[in-house]
Amino acid sequence: QFVESDDDEELLFNIPFTGSVKLKGVIVVGEEDGTHPAEMRLFRNIPHMSFDDTAKEPEQTFSLSQDPLGELEYPTKIARFSNLYHLSMHFPKNFGAETTKIFYIGLKGEWTE
């Protein structure tokens, strides 16, 4: 199973947390083809973020490699991702396909109430 963008290659995920999170790393799994996301932009504490909000400067941007097995972990700048209660993940482009597919997103960190 996977999530696939509909009109273009952009995808946006809003992830609320039930406590305070210190995010240390992210794993993104896609197929080894043009549908794999090529870039990931992370935003902190913007509930109900929309595509209109993606023009803002992200907390951190990553150039992604095709990773169908989930072997790559992208480390975050921990100081920017402490006291996180909402994470928005924007995938603005892929490796050339019309749509983007993501099979798995892994978040590594610490949670406190």
Kind of pairing between the strands at 3-4 and 101-102: antiparallel
Instruction: Supply angle C-alpha 50, 61, 7, rounded to 5.
Output: 40
Residue that is written with structure tokens 């991702």 in the block = 81
Cβ neighbour number for residue 65 with a 10 Å cutoff: 12
Beta bridge partners of 89: 13, 42
74 pLDDT above the threshold of 90: yes
Beta bridge partners of 11: 91
Give domain limits for the chain.
3-112
Q: Region 73-95: what's the mean pLDDT?
A: 97
76 pLDDT above the threshold of 90: yes
Residue 7: the pLDDT is 87
110 pLDDT above the threshold of 90: yes
Residue 36: the pLDDT is 98
Q: Does domain 3-112 have CATH number 2.60.120.470?
A: yes
pLDDT in tens, 12-35: 999 999 999 999 999 999 999 999
Contact 8, 54 (CB under 8 A): no
What are the tokens at 32?
């080894």
The Cα 97–Cα 30 span in angstroms is 12
Instruction: Pick the closest to residue 45 from 12, 78, 16 (CA basis).
Output: 16
Residue 18: the pLDDT is 96
